[in-house]
A and B are shown apart, each in its own frame.
Chain A
Amino acid sequence: MARVERLLNLVAALIDTSTPLTAEQIRVRVPGYPEPDAAGSGSGRSDSAFHRAFERDKESLREVGIPIETLEVHHLEQPRAAYTIIRDTYELPDPGLNTDELAALHLAATMIQAEGLDPDDLEEGLRRLGGLTSEVAPSAAPVGAVPMPPQLLSLFACTLERRVASFDYESKPREVQPYRLEYRRGHWYMTGYDLDREAQRSFRLDRLTGVVTAGEPEGFVVPQSVEEVLLRPWEIGDGPSTAARVLIDAELASAVMAEDPELRVIETRQDGSLVLELDVRNPGGLRSFMMNFLDRAEILSPEEYRSEIVLWLSNFVSSPAERPA
């Protein structure tokens, strides 16, 4: 009997059973496994072939998302592994997507390429949700590509199942309750509650090293509101903030505002230049931000930040570094 039938019958048997089945029971109920050796032959060759085939089947089914549970049962006083599929974890509740909604999902996921994931995942996912509905118009060529690194997938699973995630970040071990994953400006960030630091933190995924280890499901509760990732370099810090005013020349005004529309504009001058007010906790971050604009922007106030910039720039003018020998 072909492997496809054997796998389907294994799924049916594990869903239908009211008590978990041991490997031996499965061998009897699911056709297609190597028959037991003739009684008394004692070779055990077919037994090991059966176990290999059964292990492989379980692994293949789990890979396509079929949740085969392993439990311990006692049989003749001996503990044994037994297997079952719990309906609630197996069955996809009906999302109630209508044809238009399925088509919209299909189109969106086609236009945004998930780099690093198998394109079949899209097709297979849609089949489970009720079909692919219609052919996607050729004009729907991918417009965007979003990388999907392996850590993202592990953290996504932790987020959905509310498992604590453990990983190394900048070479230090962290334990975090992951709340949300955000893709911004070309990078993935995870925002969550850092258990060691007892505070909400954001982590850039490409700075995670090694594997993500997942804790038990339902290990925490996500708060009602999760703040967005903080990306403005001058805002990163714990101290009190100082309001600084910055003048951006007209040529750069629209680019700066497109990059960060939430910036506080307190004045638009006649020539089109903007005065922004920034809450600065990290003057070094403000300096880096200002260097992006070269001589097309200027810190207006406070005086202290102006003199810091002047001091910083003077470093370069008065003492150009010598190349080390």
Chain B
Amino acid sequence: MINFFEVKETNDMIQKENLDVRTITLGLSLLDCIDSDLSKLTAKIYDKICTRAQRLVSVGKEIERELGIPIVNKRISLTPISLIGSSAAKSPEDFCQIALSMDKAAKSVGVNFIGGFTALASKGTARADQLLMESIPMSMSETDRVCASAVLGSTRTGINMDAVRFMGQIIKETAEKTREQDSLGCAKLVVLCNAPDDNPFMAGAFHGVTESDAVINVGVSGPGVVKTAISKVRGESFEILCETIKRTAFKVTRVGQLVANKAAAMLGVPFGIVDLSLAPTPAIGDSVAEILKEIGVEEVGAPGTTAALALLNDQVKKGGVMASSYVGGLSGAFIPVSEDQGMIDSVEAGALTIEKLEAMTCVCSVGLDMIAIPGDTPESSISGIIADEMAIGMVNQKTTAVRIIPVIGKGVGESVEFGGLLGHAPIMKVNPFSCSAFTKRNGRIPAPIHSFKN
């Protein structure tokens, strides 16, 4: 029988160390909603979401009550809308209509974000992908809960530099369109390389076409739990440090698996994957940066940070994989700046730069995330930052992403407040030298030699 100390350990994790399940995400296929008539299409999308996701939030709350663990977000991911809307939507305004129906449905069922307003352009940009990307500034400014993404490259296809160049422009336009809210639209917009079909985390979640009609994916969290566990082995060898992280990750992930199984059974939807993640929040003690400091770097960005992060990321996976029957999504430590108080502190201390963050993204999931940059950063520099990150993903056969916010009207030394889980961020310096001659080139960067495995 369960003993007193086991109960106390679990409850201390929940109450004192911010252990939670970060998200239950219901993936929904919209392939059966496709119609050539826009109004019929938007009505079908709205109806399908409202019918299939009707009980998602109440089931999530019931599990929270029964297990005594917070489930922070209940979310929905949809089949990439560039596919669903390709027949009906003939203009960016038409795609915006689809975003509006997604937003209305999300509000109706009570989820806080809905993902899948996505263009799949990793090799070439289809007309629908182009129109959807063009509609992003408008769609992000007119909706509250819709998350947009664009897949711009992969190890197998190379990098679609035409789309990279275009998304630099779109990110800037989105920032302008939402300037009244400190360019918040860009916090709901991400570009990806090697995007997974089953990611439960926003803003990059979409329900890939390889998936079944509906699926439950769960993202776990728990940086505070890992931090507390390793603080008890301060000064010990790497072996003991790694074992401690693995054991902790195992326990955290088992809870995610339990929640996923329960949610799947209660909703009558198959269980998909558990995403093994360390996802921070702005709450004190819920920080990946604090783990890195506990491992032994004075501030994030100090020499040794990348190695410490590589170690952390790998142990989280090793512990987590054993705890779940199916693992997927992004799976790894997230290093968003605005959503992690320790990261913010390190930027403000002058220890952490975009260049160091880029190096860190080579060894963890996912990429340059929630980074505020000056509003006057040229589009070409944003495209260059995206290209660099896509190249890291392409060459290392991993998912990488860029969610960067050029805050219109603000510069280095100022900060921006997004509120809630999105947090606040100091504006970070961007390298002032130009790459416009590079990003102006047309076409795509070919797939790397090691992608030819057949």
Binding between chains A and B: no
Q: Using a CB–CB distance below 8 Å, which chain B residues touch chain A? A: none
Q: Using a CB–CB distance below 8 Å, which chain A residues touch chain B? A: none
